[in-house]
Amino acid sequence: MKYLQDVYFSNLNAVYNFGGHFSISETESWDYGKHRFEQCKFYFITGGSCVIEIENKKYHGVAGDWFFIPAGVEHFYYNEKGTRFEKYWMHFDLYPSIDIFHVLQLPYVVKADAKGRALRLFKRYAKLCQSDELTDKLAVKACLIGLLAEYIKAAKPEGVNVINRAEARIDELLRYINENLDKPLSNDVLAEKYFAHPNHFIRAFKEKTGFTPAKYIKAQRLENAKRLLESTDLSIVEITEKIGLVEPTHFSRLFKEYYSFPPTEYRRRFKREMGM
């Protein structure tokens, strides 16, 4: 069981493209035929009524209805004449390109408090997006992320937990790596532990950690070596063996690339700075 923030939100980039406040009179029309849009959409109805069809299901939108239309989903819409129609709207992109809408099984429309936080955020963003100030552009991004949070909260008031078995296996594998740095850790060996084809394993591992397995293991081995240099009097040969490398000269070269000093020099400087 993993919270979605562990697998997605920590790297989320939400990019606002267009939007604002929109209103028309009783005699005007707001309509568009069936189409697929390359960006996500928010429509927050504040007055009047409309029909929005999403994937062949029609929704009768009235004040307080908040629509989330994911990128690439077929839809069309039109306002119902005879009443003034008002809405806040936004087009935006989400990166990484995980389909968060379907991962969370969100509905296409939720009910929002007519005087609640969502409306306040929409009003603030509509004002900010008219500005050319850099800080206001950052504030618009903050509004968008706040609106995403509010939509998810409205759709999932009990909170969001995501079961992700692949993530759980990677977590187990990371523990295995950290406990076995002195052993051979090839991609084939790790993929077998992960129960996946090596190519799939490498891709999933990089999505989780940001590193290939080889780079992650090297970084962990060198970090472990740094701790041993700081806390023990083990020789360079002994430390080389404990971190699963064969040649002390190879270890010394890698260590210097990472920490700017050879292992012996690093230890000497560390002890001097610590008064040891």
β-bridge mates for residue 88, sequence order: 21, 44
Closest CA to 141 of 158, 121, 161: 121
Report the range of poorest mean pLDDT among 5-9, 60-64, 85-89, 127-131: 5-9
Alpha carbon distance 30, 165 (integer Å): 45
Q: In what order do the strands lie in the sheet with 109-111?
A: 13-24, 85-95, 40-47, 65-69, 109-111
Residue range 4-155, CATH number: 2.60.120.280
Q: For position 1, what pLDDT does the model report? A: 34
**Which residue intervals of the chain bear CATH 2.60.120.280?**
4-155
Contact 68, 108 (CB under 8 A): yes
* Residue 6 pLDDT exceeds 70: no
Q: DSSP letter for 162, please.
A: B
Percentage of residues of the chain with pLDDT beyond 70: 90
Task: Report the C-alpha gap between 53 and 78 in whole angstroms.
Answer: 9
Please answer whether residues 70 and 40 qualify as being in contact, where contact means their C-beta atoms are separated by less than 8 angstroms: yes
Identify whether the C-beta of residue 90 lies closer than 8 Å to the C-beta of residue 69. no
Q: Whole-model pTM?
A: 0.58
Q: At 76, phi and psi to the nearest 5?
A: -145, 170
List pLDDT tens digits, range 123-152: 999 999 888 888 998 999 999 999 999 999
Of 13 and 93, the one with more pLDDT: 93
**Locus of tokens 């004002």:** 127
pLDDT in tens, 23-41: 999 999 999 999 988 889 9
- pLDDT at position 120 is 94
Of 26-35, 98-107, 111-120, which range is least confident? 98-107
Every domain range in the chain assigned CATH 1.10.10.60: 165-273
Reply yes or no on whether the pLDDT at 211 is more than 90: no
At 96 the pLDDT is 61
Domain covering 165-273 assigned CATH 3.40.720.10 in the classification = no
